Amino acid sequence: MTTRPPLTTTAGSAVPDNQNSLTAGPRGGIMLQDYQLLEKLAHQNRERIPERVVHAKGWGAHGTLTITGDISRYTKASCLQPGAVTPMLARFSTVAGEQGAADHERDVRGFALKFYTKEGNWDLVGNNTPVFFIRDPYKFPDFIHTQKRHPKTNMRSATAMWDYWSLSPEALHQVTILMSDRGLPVTPMNMNGYGSHTYSFWNDAGERHWVKFHFKTQQGHKHYTNEEGEAVIGRTREGYQEALYGAIEDKAFPRWTVQVQIMPELDAEKTGYNPFDLTKVWPHGDYPPIEIGVMELNRNPDNYFAEIESAAFSPSNIVPGIGFSPDKVLQARIFSYADAHRYRLGTHYEQLPVNQPKCPVHHYNRDGNMNHFGLRSGNPDAYYEPNTVLGSPAEVPSAKEPPLRIDGAMARFNHRDGNDDYGQVTALFNLFDADQKARLFSNIAAAMNGVPSDIIERQMVHFVRVHADYEAGVRTALKAAHGYEANTISEGEAAE
C-alpha cells in the first residue's frame, strides 16, 4: 500500500483533522482561532476570477416583500411587521455551472434575496432545497472542487463527485433531492426557495426563537426529465433567463408564499436531531409552517451587469430582530460571502448602487479601492471610534442581539458521530410514488456513468441503509443504462 504524504497548511504545518471545524461543544459555535478553516475558505474565494466561485450563472429581478401575517411576538424586525412592504432583489442561479453554462442542467438552484429595509439591508442567501451536502464548513471547498472541472482533463468528473459523496453520508439527503424530479425545475418560477439554515428571531423583550424560512411557489412545481432538459438546451442555453424576463415583461409577475417555521429556543436541546444541522429538516408536524406574506417579482433590471451580476448577497447582512444560530455552515458563510465580494467586486462593494442600503449609512471605514464617497462618519474629524466629536456615529444598544447560548469544550468534534444520516432520507424516499422513484434511479444511473465500481459499491451501502428498494432500483437502472452488474449488499454489510 502506497504511503500517503502528510496533509499540511500552506505554511507546511501538519493538519491533524481536516473533517471537523473547531467549535465550542458539538453544536458550535465556531472558534475564530480555527486558522485552517479561515485559510480554506479565504483561499477558495480567490480561486477564480472574475466570476463567482459558485452560483456564477444567474437570473434576477426586482420586487417586493409584503407581510400579511403577524409574527410580532417573535421578532422586532420592522420589515416583518404586519402590513410592511419592502423593496427587494432576487437572484436565482445554478451552483456548479460557469457563466456560460446552460440553464437547464440538473443542479441545485441558488435562491438569493436582498431586502432593502429601513433598518439596513437584510440578505437571505439560500437554495431551492431545504438542506445541503455538508454540515461542517470545513468540507465546503472540498465539495465544490468535486463539482468543478478536473484540473487535468478540464472536464466535470462524475468519479470525483461520487467518490466524495460515497465517503460523506451526510450528503445523501441533498443528493436524493438533486437526483429527484426537483433537481431540474422548468423555470425559476416553478421552484420553492429556502433559507436552508436555521436563523433566529428576537423581540423587544430579548426573547429568542429559532426560525427557518420557506418561499413556496404560487406557479406550481414543474420539472423536466434529463432528456427534456437536454432537448431544451439544444434550442437555447438561456431558458431560465428567457422565462423569468419574459414573464415579468408580460406582467405575469411570479409570486411566492412566504412561510416560517418557529422553534422555542430551549426546544433545540430536546429534539432528536440537531436543529442547526444543514443536512436536516424540521418535521412540519412538530413545527408547522406559518404563512406570513408574499414575495413578488415585478421589475426587470435595466442593466443586467450593474443590477444582477454586481449584486452581492451575504448572510452577514441582518437587521435588528433577526439573528444567527450555532449552524456551523451559516457561521462560516457569514465570513466567506462578504470576503468573496471584497475580492470579486472590491473593498467597498456595498457602495455599488444595487448593494447600497436605502437607509442612511454612517461608519468609520476608510480608504481602499473603490472609495469614491470619502468618510461616512458625518464629520471629517471623526475618523476613529470612540471619540468625542459632535455629530459622529455612536453605538445603538437597542440593536444588540440577545446572548447566544453555547457550551462545551473547544475541540474538533467528529460531525458524523451520533448523526442519523438516513432517517430523514428514508422519510423522503417513502414520499415518492413509483414513477418518481423510477426517475430518481434513472437520474442517479446517468450521473454514475463511468464511475469505478468500487465507488459505486461504496455508495450502494448508503442507498440500502435508506431502503432496500433504493439500492435495488439504482442497480436495475445501472444495468439497463450501462450494463453494470455487481453483487447486491447483504443486510450485514449494510449494518457495518
Answer whether residue 351 is part of any domain. yes
CATH number for 43: 2.40.180.10
Per-residue model confidence as pLDDT tens digits over 216-272:
999 999 999 999 999 999 999 999 999 999 999 999 999 999 999 999 999 999 999
**Angle ∠(108,113,114) on CA atoms, nearest 5:** 150
Give the number of C-alpha atoms closer than 13 A to the C-alpha of residue 300, restricted to the C-beta side.
16
Single residue among 320, 351, 366 that ends a domain in this structure: 366
State the pLDDT at residue 495.
53
Q: CA 150, CA 148: separation in Å to the nearest integer?
A: 7
Q: Looking at the structure, do residues 345 and 443 belong to the same domain, yes or no?
A: no
pLDDT at 1 over 80: no
Contact (CB, 8 A) for 240 and 188:
yes
CB proximity list for 424: less than 8 A, separation 6 or greater: 173, 273, 280, 281
Answer whether residue 107 is part of any domain. yes
Comparing 27 with 215, the larger pLDDT belongs to: 215
State the pLDDT at residue 18.
85
Q: CA 302, CA 46: separation in Å to the nearest integer?
A: 29
Q: Looking at the structure, do residues 325 and 458 belong to the same domain, yes or no?
A: no
Q: Looking at the structure, do residues 321 and 440 belong to the same domain, yes or no?
A: no
**Phi, then psi, of 156 in degrees rounded to 5:** -65, 145
State the pLDDT at residue 381.
82
Contact (CB, 8 A) for 244 and 254:
yes
Answer whether residue 463 is part of any domain. yes
C-alpha cell belonging to residue 127: 437554495
Answer whether residue 377 is part of any domain. no
Q: Looking at the structure, do residues 362 and 436 belong to the same domain, yes or no?
A: no
* Residue 164 one-letter amino acid: Y
C-alpha cell belonging to residue 434: 413509483
Contact (CB, 8 A) for 177 and 183:
yes
Please measure the distance between the N-terminal and C-terminal CA atoms of the chain and give it in whole angstroms. 23
Q: Looking at the structure, do residues 159 and 285 belong to the same domain, yes or no?
A: yes
Average pLDDT over residues 41-62: 84
Contact (CB, 8 A) for 489 and 472:
no
Q: Looking at the structure, do residues 193 and 293 belong to the same domain, yes or no?
A: yes
State the pLDDT at residue 134.
98
Single residue among 318, 346, 366 that ends a domain in this structure: 366
Q: Looking at the structure, do residues 340 and 476 belong to the same domain, yes or no?
A: no
Q: What is the Rg, in whole angstroms, of the alpha carbon atoms belonging to the chain? A: 23
| Closest by CA position to 109, among listed 124, 123, 95 | 95
Active site amino acids? 55, 127
Q: Looking at the structure, do residues 36 and 166 belong to the same domain, yes or no?
A: yes
At 493, is the pLDDT very low, low, confident or very high (cuts 50, 70, 90)?
low
Answer whether residue 409 is part of any domain. no
pLDDT at 69 over 90: yes
Q: CA 4, CA 19: separation in Å to the nearest integer?
A: 17
At 378, is the pLDDT very low, low, confident or very high (cuts 50, 70, 90)?
low
Helix (H, G, I), strand (E, B) or coil at 47: coil
State the pLDDT at residue 361.
84
CA of 82: how far to CAs of 121, 261, 398, in Å?
Answer: 19, 17, 21
C-alpha cell belonging to residue 146: 468535486
Single residue among 366, 396, 421 that ends a domain in this structure: 366
Answer whether residue 417 is part of any domain. no
Q: Identify how many contiguous H helices and E strands the chain contains and give both numbers.
A: 13, 12
C-alpha cell belonging to residue 136: 461542517
CA of 115: how far to CAs of 46, 95, 110, 422, in Å?
Answer: 27, 22, 16, 36
Per-residue model confidence as pLDDT tens digits over 420-442:
999 999 999 999 999 999 999 99
- The overall average pLDDT reported for the chain is 92
At 278, is the pLDDT very low, low, confident or very high (cuts 50, 70, 90)?
very high
Q: CA 189, CA 97: separation in Å to the nearest integer?
A: 19
pLDDT at 450 over 90: yes
Q: Which domain holds residue 440?
A: 432-495
Q: Which stretches of 153-300 are assigned E, i.e. beta strand? A: 193-194, 199-202, 208-217, 255-264, 290-299
Q: CA 218, CA 255: separation in Å to the nearest integer?
A: 6
Answer whether residue 223 is part of any domain. yes
Domain count, the chain: 2
Q: Looking at the structure, do residues 211 and 119 belong to the same domain, yes or no?
A: yes
| Closest by CA position to 84, among listed 74, 92, 76, 95 | 76
Answer whether residue 83 is part of any domain. yes
State the pLDDT at residue 29.
86
Q: CA 66, CA 79: separation in Å to the nearest integer?
A: 9
Q: Looking at the structure, do residues 344 and 456 belong to the same domain, yes or no?
A: no
